[in-house]
Chain A
Amino acid sequence: MELRKSYFADQRKDDLHEIGQPRPRSDSPGHVTGKTAYFADRNFPAMLHLKMVRSPHHHARIRSIDISEAEMHPGVVKILTAKDVPHNVYTILILIQIGPEDETVLADGKVRWKGEAVVAVLAETERAAHEAAAKVKVDYEVLPAVFDMEEALKPGAPVVNEYHGRNYYLYDSGECRKVRFGDVEAGFAGADHVLEQTYQSSPIEHAPTETTGCIVAPEGNDRFTCYTNTQAMFFTLDNASIILQMPGNRLHFVGGTVGGGFGGKVDVIVEPIAILGAKLTGRPVSFIYSREEEMQISSPRAAEKVVIKDGVMKDGRIVARKVTGYTDAGAYSRHSPYGAQKGAGHYPGPYTIPNVWIDTYCVYTNRTPSSAMRGFGVTIGDFALEVQMDKLARLIGMDPLEFRFINAYRDGDMKAHRQPTEGAALIECMQEASRAANWPVAEKFMAMSSYAKGA
């Protein structure tokens, strides 16, 4: 890695002592010698293991649940169903007033995705919990499922989630988050070329080294300590408090070094049910995802579809951009309404375009609920935007890098969401990339500046 201090030298004082120094990480020796303690390194006497009975269907009504045989299995201590969860229907972003509550801790009457948690089995050993889970009998009536976002948005499509009543999230702005800036149709009408393209992605796993999990220990005084690898301590505690209808002062969350997050550990999935198990049995409870659960049960990055329509002039100026983004939330909201909205705030990318129209939809389908992941709401949008930029440049016969200089945002430029640009640095990144990659551009672009007047 190289620090190129010649850029922005007038924007910065290099007079610091501890900051800017490549100090060795104080936690590195522990990591590389195996001494660092993770949540799962704790082992309590009489600890129980929790395993979930999961839906084998993408969409089904639950006619009945029979736990009688599972309860008789040697080593089983407690079996939990929906009726045991004090506030079973929840949504995590209720903490920032983004509702409605739309998800069940344990399925109640219906399952909406293959893998959904239905019954929790607590047993003396992992093996006993696994074996007993296989003896839980759930009678399902399979319902039509919908997997394709376009199909889900058509009239008459099966309704994925009754708490929404429609297969998209209803924002205060309507069926999507909207950004309107200038007159996009006039922009297309006056453009030399108009190009509309569709981009698509598939769900992605966070693939952390350490799978999602927690261990809960009763403190003996009606308090419960939850050792967890959540990325957000109080966010998880507060949601657990709502789900369990338990005052927050009864809950003590202890985290520590996490073996990789990438956004995969902000969903509040394992903690509430493990705390409930500890409360009802009076014993420590461990609930740790297997690798299979981490990959197919825990939320992936959403699949997205992005439609971009651009009006561009022969001289390289983009004069209009319309973006329609679709985020596949799966069966429940989790963080997806936030992610889709974040996309609306990100488009049309780091370019100054006078006419912009943005609609971002959060769509429900019968698949594993998606949620946050590194680059949430932006990564797939950037893929779409930057491939589109390459196509536009080639369409008008211009060098793709020079084309970006022409449109790059600079300090003071008004963004589509009506914030003036501050602290821009795209131009300088491209100038350095031009040098580093030996990709020459015209001298006038190398003389540009994100902030200096007249440059």
Chain B
Amino acid sequence: MAIRRGRGVAAINYPTGMNLGGDPTQALVHSTPTGNFMVTLSSVDLGQGMKQIMAQICAETIGVPTDRVVVDTADTDTGPHCMGTFASRGTHRAGNAVIQAAREARQVMLEVAAEELEVNASDLETDGQGNILVKGAPQRSISIFDVALSAHFKRGRSISGRGMFLIPRSYPEKETGAMKPSTCYAHACTVAEVEVDDETGEVTVLTVKNVFEIGRALNPKMVEQQLVGGSWMGISHALYETTEPYYPDRDHGGTDFNQYLMPGPGDLAQTEIIVLERPSADGPFGAKGPGEMCANPQIPAVANAVFDAVGVRIDTLPITPERILRALKAQASN
């Protein structure tokens, strides 16, 4: 009886957005008299930080600091339609809608600034700090605050924009299955190292090294929180979780966190995250949806590492000590 060590690899891809498309999201953007910008959506922030990302996308597009943007969302009386936050679609779909709305608002903003500075709007640029400058002559400038005041009280303009993103729905061909499930895919490769106690069947995941390709890390810190959390969830799926431990037997289902097993902090592996960026053709600044795919590759990587360690295949999830011990017993009797 011994502790045996093994490692396994898995490589995957994952589609961004609702399968087969047909899932619209709309956005509205307007400025307040103080030169701040409101993004209005009906999308839902699940705790992943959608509001923050939409603010950064709007700020980048208009050319202002992120803290000048406020996001109002998840109210069907005020927000335009969004299909919902699921299928790794939030950043991709809503982000594109916000870009379109922000571009329209930016154009009005530049037109008002052009009138104030007596130049063509096409000769203006933003400095990202809250000012609009004449290209090549930055001493001629106006603050966005002043442009907003002018638009509201002098020029009678609404600095606002409408945005919409819709990938037309694809219908699978009946006989061949020809279809367009998604317009872009995120990628991952994970290597997991485990120790398996061949006396107890217990698995300890020592390290998980994840490489994720996600198009563009719009906010690297938030990407990290999502990818680390996903990686932990993958380990949890591989080794611990189920509501029906003896599926298809319907009994013995857990009803609280004492019975429904999940890893605690001490059970989590040393986790490494490396991010690559190959911008997608239709993502906001090239972003793809990493939300779901980041929890997938750890499962087969751990399964393959368990085999590498003790030479038995557990092809049924979760890979419990009971299943490992039964497989070892069967292996010994053969």
Q: Which residues of A are in contact with B by a Cβ distance under 8 Å?
A: 1-5, 7-8, 11-12, 16-27, 31, 58, 96, 114, 147-149, 172-174, 177-181, 197-205, 207, 230-235, 237, 251-263, 266, 291-292, 295-296, 300, 303, 328, 338, 341-342, 344-346, 349-350, 358, 365, 367-368, 372, 374-380, 382-387, 389-391, 400-401, 404, 408-409, 416-419, 422-426, 428-430, 432-433, 436-437, 439, 450
B191–A23 touching, CB < 8 Å: no
Q: Which residues of A contact B292 (CB under 8 A)?
A: 374-376, 378-379
User: Which one of B133-141, B147-155, B159-167, B268-276 is at the interface?
Assistant: B268-276
Contact of B181 among A259, A292, A342, A408 (CB under 8 A): A342
Complex Cα spacing A426 to B250, Å: 39
The listed residue (A3, A23, A426) touching B11 by CB distance below 8 A is: A426
Determine if B317 and A27 form an interchain contact, defined as CB atoms under 8 angstroms apart. Answer: no
Decide: B44 and A230 in contact? CB cutoff 8 A.
Answer: yes
- Complex Cα–Cα for A180 and B11 (A): 24
Asked whether B242 lies within 8 Å of A203 as measured between CB atoms, the reply is yes
Interface status of B219 (Cβ within 8 A of chain A):
yes
CB of B180, distance to nearest CB on chain A (Å): 6
Asked if A387 meets B303 with Cβ closer than 8 Å, knowing A22-B220, A231-B85, the reply is yes
A-chain residues with CB within 8 Å of residue B180 when the two chains form the complex:
417, 419
Query: Closest CB-CB distance, B101 to chain A, in whole Å?
Result: 16
Given contacts A292-B255, A303-B248, contact A23 B56 (CB under 8 A): yes
A349 near B13 with CB under 8 A, answer yes
User: Which residue of A23, A173, A350, A372 contacts B52 across the interface (Cβ within 8 Å)?
Assistant: A23
Which residue of the partner chain, among A148, A251, A375, A423, contacts B184 with CB atoms under 8 Å?
A423
Does B65 belong to the interface (CB within 8 Å)? yes
A387 and B275 form a contact (CB under 8 A):
no
> When the two chains form their complex, are residues B128 and A18 in contact, meaning their CB atoms are under 8 A apart?
yes
| B320 nearest in chain A by CB position | A202
CA of A257 to CA of B51, assembled, Å: 9
In the complex, are the beta carbons of A426 and B13 less than 8 A apart? yes
User: Which residue in chain B gives the minimum CB-CB distance to A291?
Assistant: B256
Interface centre among B75, B86, B212 (most CB of A within 10 A): B86
14 contacts between A and B (CB under 8 A): A1-B228, A2-B273, A3-B217, A11-B278, A20-B220, A178-B176, A202-B244, A230-B84, A234-B81, A251-B76, A257-B45, A345-B177, A378-B292, A417-B181
User: When the two chains form their complex, are residues A345 and B296 in contact, meaning their CB atoms are under 8 A apart?
Assistant: no
Closest 10 CB pairs of A and B: A232-B84, A179-B177, A255-B74, A386-B300, A345-B181, A437-B191, A22-B221, A386-B10, A425-B213, A202-B242
Q: Is the CB of A173 within 8 A of B86?
A: no
Name B residues whose Cβ lies closer than 8 Å to a Cβ of A: 7-15, 19-20, 22, 42-47, 49, 51-52, 55-57, 59-60, 63, 65-67, 73-77, 79, 81-87, 128, 169, 172, 174-182, 184-185, 187-191, 209, 211-213, 215-224, 227-228, 230, 233, 237, 241-245, 247-250, 253-257, 260, 262, 272-281, 285-286, 291-293, 295-297, 299-301, 303-304, 307, 313, 315-318
In whole angstroms, what is the CA distance A400 to B67 when docked?
A: 48
Contact of B278 among A8, A235, A253, A365 (CB under 8 A): A8
How many A-B pairs fall under 8 Å by CB?
Answer: 404
A237: nearest chain-B partner, CB-CB: B76
For A178, the chain B residues whose CB sits under 8 A away are 174-177
User: Chain A residues with Cβ under 8 A from B243's Cβ?
Assistant: 202-205, 295-296, 300, 368
Residues from chain A with Cβ under 8 Å of B217 in the complex: 3, 20
The complex places the Cα of A372 from the Cα of B86 at a distance, in Å, of 9
A182 CA to B229 CA in the complex, in Å?
40
Contacts of B278 in A (CB 8 A): 7-8, 11-12, 423, 425, 428, 450
Cα distance A252–B76 in the bound complex, in angstroms:
6
Nearest-neighbour CB distance to chain B for A440, whole angstroms, equals: 12
